[in-house]
Amino acid sequence: MSDKSKLNPKDENSPNDSEVITLLEAFDRAVSLLPPGDFSRELLIGLRAEIEAQEEMIGDARDMIEKLEQVIKKVTSPANRIGTFLGSPARDTAQIVVGGADYYCNVDPRVSLTKLQKGTRVLVNEAYVIVGDLGYDTAGPVTKVAEVLGADRIRVGSEHGTQSLVLQRSAQLAKAPLKTGDEVRVDSNYRVALEVLPRPEARDHYLDVVPELPWEKIGGQDEALQAIRDAIELPLLHEELFQKFQHATPKGFLLYGPPGCGKTLIGKATAYNLTKQLRNKSGADMREYFMHIKGPEILNMWVGESERMVREIFATAREKRREGYVPFLFIDEAESILGTRRASRYSSILSTLVPMFCTEMDGIDSLNEVVIILASNRADLIDPAILRPGRIDRKIKVNRPNKRGAQEIYRIYLTDDLPYDRGIPGMEENKGAAIDALISRLLEKQFAKREENRLLEVTLRSGRKEALYRSDVISGAIIASIVERAKAMAIKRAIASGNDEGISETELQVAFNAEYLENEILPATDIVEDWLKLIDYDPENVVKISPVRPLAGGKPSQSSSVI
């Protein structure tokens, strides 16, 4: 029953004057005064139900109006602003920034001022009183640290012509180890750095695995390996002696030569062997950190960010040194990022990259800090500033293997523990000697200056034409691939026959032929630079290179390269 309608009955049945009763209660009392069986009593009871229903309706309507009033109040009251809390300059006073303007303001006693942290978001009312703590924002603009200024401030955004700003560190960043180049998320008022973002591209993006690679796993490169060991191993392992003689040591070296001849392999072997020797010398558990920087691949990433990236690469290398690693910076296809202007269509980038790289390199004390290895097929295109004494002044040629080198490389891949065809002469009696002899026989055929081995014709500026044979463009990569092909053929044969068969001499020769016919040894396009990489001629002297036979595998039929 609704109690909304109240009465103050004045009749003698009323318990007392102060009692307040509802209309329905009064009605009930009146009905109870009628004698039982009175005709009007029935009538009044019916009337009562009607009054009761009406009272309920009025009550509901009143509730509804109240709710509506609340909604109207909500939608017409002004929104609370959100600001960034900067600190508490005095008791009960907060400094905040709202929409770019600073305020000294009061704090609602229900909000604990001592719990507010620098950089946290706060809710303020119309009077700019802090009425709520919203905690740290989880989204917002990201910028790069240009400089760390003491313990609590950083400078950001000096690159690409953007305005430089000094930010405070938020409470949660107070102890974070920040450095130049780090990415930080900033509050929407651009006053406080809130979070350091991990930098996958700088951290381990360039990291490459160095397998177990003793020098013996590189064939036919004795001279190059000796030059590296003299240039890098000796100064590191006999540091005191070099200091005593005041002998200048290089900061790294340039490996140059045709593709597939082992430049990357040698770079990794240097890292493996050097670290191993340093580990043995110092007794400390040193590990290599091999940063493999692929010139063209990252050139795109560098567009507009070149300086930062160079700084970052060197900073990562130095940091790894501090962490106890031996860092190696291997820059593949170095001419694409460290070339002279004519080496690249990105000539404007190179004009900032090369000096930047030189500055960073000059900042390196010695090999002890970072070992830099450049690799290139076109060393003639590398900017001479990079190759000046005191920088990368050791240039080491990684040649195509000659017959003896090819023998060594074949032997690295045709190991004693592989299964060989029993028909190969001497295989049953002396396996090692039989494999050596097998390789010699293969090389007799493969290095023969016969018509079937003729591959290219080079026209020189003097008008002279020279023939190049398959062996003139052979490489470690080709030999490794020939052996893999032969293995695949032997496996197929073993499956088909169900017998325990091994690699045969014929398979190795067939694999050799297939490698030259099917593989990508000759460039698919007529891009001059690609053809020049193949041959060991001075590019200035070559007028034309053309294949002797039409190319297989859907390559262009005209298949010649005019320079």
Q: Which residues bind ligand ATP (CB under 6 A)?
A: 218-221, 259-265, 332, 375, 377, 409, 412, 476-477, 480
DSSP β-ladder status, 101-106 and 371-376: unpaired
Looking at the Cβ atoms of 83 and 405, the one nearer to ligand ATP is 405
Looking at the Cβ atoms of 83 and 257, the one nearer to ligand ATP is 257
Query: Least Å distance between CB 533 and ligand ATP?
Result: 8
Query: Least Å distance between CB 203 and ligand ATP?
Result: 24
Query: Least Å distance between CB 525 and ligand ATP?
Result: 16
Query: Least Å distance between CB 342 and ligand ATP?
Result: 20
Query: Least Å distance between CB 201 and ligand ATP?
Result: 22
**Helices 39-76/23-33 angle, 10° precision:** 180
Looking at the Cβ atoms of 154 and 375, the one nearer to ligand ATP is 375
Looking at the Cβ atoms of 107 and 522, the one nearer to ligand ATP is 522
Measured from each CB, the residue nearest to ligand ATP is 476
Rounded Cα–Cα distance for residues 248 and 458 (Å): 42
Query: Least Å distance between CB 216 and ligand ATP?
Result: 10
Rounded Cα–Cα distance for residues 184 and 111 (Å): 29
* CA atoms within 13 Å, Cβ hemisphere of 40: 7
Query: Least Å distance between CB 483 and ligand ATP?
Result: 10
Rounded Cα–Cα distance for residues 3 and 23 (Å): 8
Residue 306 CB partners (closer than 8 Å, separation 6+): 349, 352, 353, 356
Looking at the Cβ atoms of 459 and 481, the one nearer to ligand ATP is 481
Rounded Cα–Cα distance for residues 213 and 222 (Å): 15
Token pair in block for residue 486: 């032969």
Looking at the Cβ atoms of 105 and 511, the one nearer to ligand ATP is 511
Query: Least Å distance between CB 518 and ligand ATP?
Result: 17
CA–chain centroid gap for 538, Å, is: 38
Residue with tokens 């050139």: 299
Cross-strand bridge partners of residue 22: 6
Residue with tokens 């001419």: 335
Looking at the Cβ atoms of 83 and 219, the one nearer to ligand ATP is 219
Residue 169 CB partners (closer than 8 Å, separation 6+): 118, 151, 152, 153, 154, 176, 178, 192, 193
**Structure letter (DSSP) for residue 385:** T
Query: Least Å distance between CB 230 and ligand ATP?
Result: 19
Looking at the Cβ atoms of 480 and 534, the one nearer to ligand ATP is 480
Query: Least Å distance between CB 233 and ligand ATP?
Result: 19
214: left (phi over 0), alpha (psi -120 to 50) or beta: beta
Query: Least Å distance between CB 167 and ligand ATP?
Result: 43
Residue 170: Cβ within 10 Å count: 25
Token pair in block for residue 459: 């026209």
Looking at the Cβ atoms of 143 and 377, the one nearer to ligand ATP is 377
Radius of gyration of the chain (CA): 42
**Structure letter (DSSP) for residue 382:** B
One-character DSSP codes across 259-324 = TTSSHHHHHHHHHHHHHHHHHHHH-S--EEEEEEEEHHHHHHHHTTTHHHHHHHHHHHHHHHHHTT
Residue 39 CB partners (closer than 8 Å, separation 6+): none
From the list 64, 132, 66, 72, the residue with the least C-alpha distance to 96 is 132
Looking at the Cβ atoms of 478 and 503, the one nearer to ligand ATP is 478
Looking at the Cβ atoms of 208 and 505, the one nearer to ligand ATP is 208
